[in-house]
Amino acid sequence: MPSIARVALITGCGKPIGIGNSTARALAAAGVTVVVSDVVPAGVANEHNVQGDMDPSWHGVDTLVEDLVRRGHMAASTLGDVSVEPDAGRMVAEVLGRYGRLDILVNNAGLNRPQPFLEVDEPTLDLLLGLNVRAAFLIAQAAARLMVAPNGEKGGGGVIINMSSQMGHVGSDLNRTVYVMTKHAIEGLTKAMAVELAPKGVRVVSIAPTFVTTPLTKPFFDDPVFRKWVLDRIPLGRLGTVGEVAQAVVFLASPAAALVTGSSLLLDGGWTAW
């Protein structure tokens, strides 16, 4: 049986034009075997798409896997709710059962539901904390248990890449208190995990993009007031792209970033440099 290339699990890959989808394609193009995940398969209603959190063109992970395989890449899918420990553990176990290893976790699943601080309701608070923080912790914990070197010795392997945001480094005056809180939590989690797991051979980093152009964000930028508010805060004067985020993931997952751990790569066009 031929040896398997490095294996990556990427969460939140259900949108056809999104960071998870683009990251899977970029890693596959770099020779990585990718396992893509999302919460439900195409056409199945759940609490998320019923509430309108997902792009109307969301189609699950099946089409992505089919396309990657058609292009000659190694790809598979796994489904589950990463905010629930049994699902998180099962999804990681499925990767191990299929390929015998897990080298890269891209902790990408997340969402935002902007509300003024004084009007934030408990369902929104619980939803964002559950997916943006709890789920990130649980899937990272399950993945790290596979990545650490045996007996706690140095020489383990693997990298966990947490998808954060520039809002994990600054505040915001535009109805994003809960989202900002969750991304600050991710930055803290990244640092703490990195310090604890470094002796076991596992790197942990975060990526902090600015606003990125996707079908999901397009309606926001159709509002000229919102668009001006964003672009006025980016010295480079433009939004990010999913491809730029994906290439940053490829770099951080590669041997070129072997000395990078516990830090956040800001893809913010200068937003946090003010």
- Residues with catalytic roles: 179, 183
In sequence order, the 6+-apart residues with CB closer than 8 A to the CB of 123 are none
The amino acid sitting at 52 is: G
Q: Tokens standing for 237?
A: 């004067």
- N-to-C CA span, the chain: 54
Under the phi-then-psi rule, with left for phi > 0, alpha for psi from -120 to 50, and beta for the rest, what region is 168?
alpha
**Residues in the chain, overall count:** 274
How far apart (Å, rounded) are the C-alpha atoms in residues 202 and 171? 30
How far apart (Å, rounded) are the C-alpha atoms in residues 150 and 147? 9
Beta strand 7-10 pairing with 264-267: unpaired
The amino acid sitting at 82 is: V
